[in-house]
């Protein structure tokens, strides 16, 4: 599914924060390109700038300077309304802490992005069912997040991220709060989506082993800079039932 | 985000913090109730006064006089030397013209005279009394003064009947002098029955028209000039007597026009008074003038509604007559009520102002509590406007609910207080009144105001929520 088209291109992206009199460079001149359909892992120690870069790509934050081109459109030049539209239709996000709305059941959580995208009401139910079926949570439609295990919550978050059929899936430490077995389950799902739907995946992680096992490319960050942009690894062969051969 | 999604999400959010949001809504309801109760009291009082004043006849009549007899300061200033030819006479033609003006209910002359009245109390010998007599049209029956009428009103416009004032009734009944002035107290039914149905003899001066000219025929030039001027209208004064049946006793003097210098103590129907051709003090003055027939000193023009008075007055003024009405006084009264309503509205709004702070507090608290949720929504594609709208709808929903509850509560409070006040009034032997009146515009206005205040209160929290940095919000625990 991978093509040579550029999905994401960052050009000398910087993100500085002021902390009192000090200026902290969370991202400091990052230039890299991620191609369409790639499964890229952003690796680095804590404070290396990987989450900040992820937020910039997600359109949740704006760079202090530089450009972030996603499918040719510069996020830095977009208005807040355009960025919201971009998040609605182009990006799906998965967080370490799942970030499901605790007062909504799973179906409602998954439906939420479709409300913002103004998807027709008649269509929503089918799409909710499909998304939850894909993450094998069809039986948990009416359950609230607090009634689910961590793995189930992350699967639900994944279903929610995909329900608007984004071209880009951004996962910030998706297995960080899960045990290794459940984490593996989630990673298999993400990999499956990448290979079957062709969704470009950018995953932030500090677990090198996980990245090596699932990602097609590893990008190393340190002190807000790209230490190693990494090259395309051998494409992992996906077993639909889960696991990598 | 589509409207139904906004409403659905807002409803869900409101239900999630049901206790806090209910308390806030009750706060708004109390504010609206206070506003509705205060304003409905103002409106009710205005209506009661308006109705009473309207029924007094003060505000729905225009008194018309000929410029010859009654000239205003403006007339004198603008036209100091009016020629007699310019002066319109207030005669039957003028009366008929006034009757045709749109909004005019009736036109009648103001008839007042002082006459001798003879009455025999309880079979004793007749005794003479002097009293001012006022003619009243049949429409005066609706006047407030006749609310506590003992007996009945005139049976017709020409009925040979009289209604006497309580004070004069006491005189007729030869009650002790010191009790006669107590006009606040009604005559006892027993005393009233001693008068009602009895005969009162009215002795008066009639203006009997002569057919011959009063100007000496020898002076032919003068007679000719007088004829041309239409002065062939002189009269004799003849003493007459008329038996009138007392049909009622009234406690307060009804409104009878402008010249209320001498207080009317006996009332007779205008139709009867006109047919009796009373000699009026003005007749002597009229005699000296060139006149083509019977003229009136003043005519009272009654409008269907007090609001029609300015137009009617202006129309008559343009015809060349002097007019007078109580509209200026009524304007002052209207201003008094506007200020009263404003004062009550401000007082009532205070509670709503406090309630609006409650909304603000609730929504600001909601932002703090839902910080992470707002971050999630933004990450999922909600725009700043979507978030702002969501908070606005929540504030608006509390406003609508508070408005409906508050209006009902205000209405109920009004009814309860009105009920209590009327029980008290009944015990004091005072006629009951509807002091609380909730008009439809107050219901709609209170609800709109409630929503408006709620949205205003939601303005700051909504914009604060919209500006929330999603990255910061998502980090929040």
User: Quick one: pLDDT at residue B138?
Assistant: 82
Chain-chain contact of A115 with B378 (C-beta, under 8 angstroms)? no
Q: Would you say residue A54 has pLDDT above 50?
A: yes
Chain-chain contact of B1 with A118 (C-beta, under 8 angstroms)? yes
pLDDT-derived band at A236, boundaries 50, 70, 90 = very low
Eight-class DSSP state of B121: G
Which chain A residues touch B469 with a CB distance below 8 Å?
A: 61
With an 8 Å Cβ cutoff, is A119 touching chain B? no
Q: Which of A12-21, B284-293, B398-407 has the lowest mean pLDDT?
A: B284-293
In contact, B119 and B129? CB cutoff 8 Å:
yes
Single out the residue of B449, B388, B468 nearest to residue B10, CA to CA. Answer: B388
Q: Which of A77-81, B70-74, B433-437 has the lowest mean pLDDT?
A: B70-74
With an 8 Å Cβ cutoff, is A62 touching chain B? no
With an 8 Å Cβ cutoff, is B2 touching chain A? yes
Q: Would you say residue B161 has pLDDT above 60?
A: yes
Chain-chain contact of A60 with B470 (C-beta, under 8 angstroms)? yes
Q: Would you say residue A111 has pLDDT above 90?
A: yes
Per-residue model confidence as pLDDT tens digits over B76-94? 566 555 555 556 778 888 8
Q: Which two tokens stand for residue B308?
A: 């029609």
Q: Which two tokens stand for residue A228?
A: 């190693």
User: Quick one: pLDDT at residue B44?
Assistant: 84
Q: Which two tokens stand for residue B228?
A: 């041309």
What's the mean pLDDT when you consider all of chain A? 87
**Structure-model confidence comparison of residues A244 and B36, the more confident one:** B36
With an 8 Å Cβ cutoff, is A84 touching chain B? yes
**Structure-model confidence comparison of residues B89 and B398, the more confident one:** B398
The mean pLDDT of A46-57, rounded to a whole number, is 90
In the sheet that B298-303 helps form, which strands lie side by side, from edge to edge?
Answer: B104-109, B298-303, B61-65, B322-325
Per-residue model confidence as pLDDT tens digits over B254-277? 765 554 445 688 999 988 988 888
Chain-chain contact of B376 with A103 (C-beta, under 8 angstroms)? no
With an 8 Å Cβ cutoff, is B382 touching chain A? yes
Strand locations in chain A, DSSP E? 6-19, 22-35, 39-43, 65-70, 73-74, 91-94, 168-172, 200-205, 217-222, 225-228
Q: Which of B53-67, B71-85, B95-109, B202-216 has the lowest mean pLDDT?
A: B71-85
**Structure-model confidence comparison of residues B204 and B123, the more confident one:** B204
User: Quick one: pLDDT at residue A241?
Assistant: 37
User: Quick one: pLDDT at residue B77?
Assistant: 60
- This model of the complex carries an ipTM of 0.89
Per-residue model confidence as pLDDT tens digits over B23-54? 888 988 988 898 888 888 888 887 787 777 66
Single out the residue of B42, B52, B4, B21 nearest to residue B345, CA to CA. Answer: B42
- Minimal Cα–Cα distance from B386 to chain A, Å? 8
pLDDT-derived band at A245, boundaries 50, 70, 90 = very low
From residue A8, give the alpha-carbon distance in Å to each of A85, A233, B311, B372, B428.
Answer: 17, 18, 79, 27, 88
Per-residue model confidence as pLDDT tens digits over A119-164? 999 899 999 999 998 888 888 889 999 999 988 999 899 999 989 9
Q: Which of A81, A85, A95 sits opposite B474 (nearest CB)?
A: A95
User: Quick one: pLDDT at residue B279?
Assistant: 80
What's the mean pLDDT when you consider all of chain B? 80
With an 8 Å Cβ cutoff, is B1 touching chain A? yes
pLDDT-derived band at B189, boundaries 50, 70, 90 = confident
Chain-chain contact of A99 with B379 (C-beta, under 8 angstroms)? yes
**Mutating which of A26, A60, A75 best tests the B interface, going by the most B Cβ atoms within 10 A?**
A60
Q: Which of A58, A103, A115 sits opposite B5 (nearest CB)?
A: A115
- Predicted TM-score (pTM) of the model is 0.66
Q: Is B190 exposed, middle or buried (0-12, 13-18, 19+ CB in 10 A)?
A: exposed
DSSP string, B197-220: T-EEEEEEEEEEEPSS-SS-TTSH
In contact, B87 and B68? CB cutoff 8 Å:
yes
Query: How many inter-chain contacts (A to B, CB under 8 Å) are there?
Result: 67
User: Quick one: pLDDT at residue A239?
Assistant: 37
Chain-chain contact of A87 with B2 (C-beta, under 8 angstroms)? no
Per-residue model confidence as pLDDT tens digits over B312-341? 988 988 888 888 887 666 667 777 878 887
Q: Would you say residue B147 has pLDDT above 90?
A: no
User: Quick one: pLDDT at residue B142?
Assistant: 77
Chain-chain contact of B16 with A103 (C-beta, under 8 angstroms)? yes
User: Quick one: pLDDT at residue B476?
Assistant: 62
């Amino acid at each position: 599914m991978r093509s040579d088209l550029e999905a994401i291109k960052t050009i000398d992206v910087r993100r500085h924060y002021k902390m009192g009199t000090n200026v902290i460079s969370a991202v400091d001149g990052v230039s890299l390109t991620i191609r369409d359909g790639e499964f890229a892992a952003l690796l680095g120690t804590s404070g290396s700038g990987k989450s900040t870069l992820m937020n910039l790509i997600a359109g949740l934050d704006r760079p202090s300077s530089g450009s972030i081109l996603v499918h040719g459109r510069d996020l830095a030049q977009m208005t807040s309304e355009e960025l919201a539209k971009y998040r609605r239709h182009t990006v799906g996000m998965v967080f370490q802490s799942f970030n499901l709305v605790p007062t909504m059941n799973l179906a409602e959580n998954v439906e939420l992005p479709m409300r913002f995208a103004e998807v027709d009401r008649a269509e929503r139910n089918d799409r909710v069912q499909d998304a939850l079926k894909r993450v094998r949570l069809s039986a948990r439609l009416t359950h609230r997040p607090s009634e689910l295990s961590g793995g189930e919550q992350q699967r639900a978050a994944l279903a929610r991220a995909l329900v608007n059929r984004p071209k880009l899936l951004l996962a910030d430490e998706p297995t960080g709060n899960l045990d290794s077995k459940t984490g593996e389950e989630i990673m298999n799902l993400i990999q499956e989506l990448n290979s079957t739907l062709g969704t470009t995946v950018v995953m932030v992680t500090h677990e090198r082993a996980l990245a090596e096992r699932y990602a097609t490319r590893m990008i190393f960050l340190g002190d807000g800079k790209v230490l190693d942009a990494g090259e395309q690894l051998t494409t992992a062969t996906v077993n639909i039932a889960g696991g990598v051969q | 985000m589509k409207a139904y999604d906004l409403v659905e999400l807002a409803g869900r959010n409101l239900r999630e913090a049901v206790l806090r949001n209910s308390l806030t809504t009750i706060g708004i309801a109390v504010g609206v109730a206070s506003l509705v109760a205060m304003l409905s009291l103002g409106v009710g009082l205005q209506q009661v006064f308006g109705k009473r004043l309207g029924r007094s006849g003060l505000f729905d009549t225009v008194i018309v006089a000929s410029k010859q007899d009654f000239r205003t300061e403006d007339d004198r200033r603008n036209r100091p030397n009016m020629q007699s030819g310019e002066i319109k006479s207030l005669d039957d033609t003028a009366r008929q013209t006034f009757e045709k003006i749109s909004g005019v209910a009736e036109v009648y002359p103001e008839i007042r005279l002082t006459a001798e009245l003879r009455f025999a109390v309880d079979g004793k010998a007749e005794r003479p009394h002097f009293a001012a007599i006022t003619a009243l049209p049949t429409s005066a029956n609706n006047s407030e003064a006749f609310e506590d009428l003992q007996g009945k009103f005139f049976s017709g416009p020409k009925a040979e009947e009289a209604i006497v004032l309580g004070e004069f009734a006491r005189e007729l009944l030869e009650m002790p002098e010191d009790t006669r002035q107590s006009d606040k107290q009604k005559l006892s039914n027993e005393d009233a029955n001693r008068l009602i149905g009895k005969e009162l003899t009215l002795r008066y001066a009639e203006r009997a028209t002569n057919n011959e000219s009063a100007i000496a025929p020898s002076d032919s030039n003068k007679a000719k000039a007088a004829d041309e001027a239409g002065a062939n209208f002189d009269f004799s004064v003849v003493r007459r007597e008329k038996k009138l049946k007392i049909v009622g006793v009234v406690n307060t003097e009804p409104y009878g026009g402008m010249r209320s210098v001498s207080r009317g103590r006996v009332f007779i129907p205008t139709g009867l008074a006109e047919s009796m051709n009373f000699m009026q003090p003005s007749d002597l003055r009229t005699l000296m003038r060139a006149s083509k027939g019977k003229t009136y000193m003043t005519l009272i023009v009654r409008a269907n509604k007090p609001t029609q008075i300015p137009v009617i007055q202006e129309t008559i003024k343009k015809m060349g007559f002097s007019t007078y009405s109580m509209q200026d006084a009524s304007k002052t009264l209207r201003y008094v009520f506007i200020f009263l309503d404003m004062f009550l509205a401000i007082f009532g709004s205070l509670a709503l102002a406090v309630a609006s702070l409650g909304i603000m507090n609730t929504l600001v608290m909601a932002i703090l509590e839902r910080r992470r949720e707002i971050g999630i929504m933004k990450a999922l594609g909600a725009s700043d406007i979507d978030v702002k709208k969501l908070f606005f709808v929540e504030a608006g929903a509390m406003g609508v609910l508070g408005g409906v509850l508050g209006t009902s509560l205000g209405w109920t409070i009004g009814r309860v207080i009105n009920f209590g006040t009327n029980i008290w009034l009944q015990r004091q032997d005072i006629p009951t009144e509807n002091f609380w009146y909730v008009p439809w515009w107050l219901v709609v206005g209170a609800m709109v105001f409630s929503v408006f205040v709620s949205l205003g209160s939601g303005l700051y929290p909504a914009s604060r929520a919209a500006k929330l940095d999603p990255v910061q919000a998502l980090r929040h625990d």
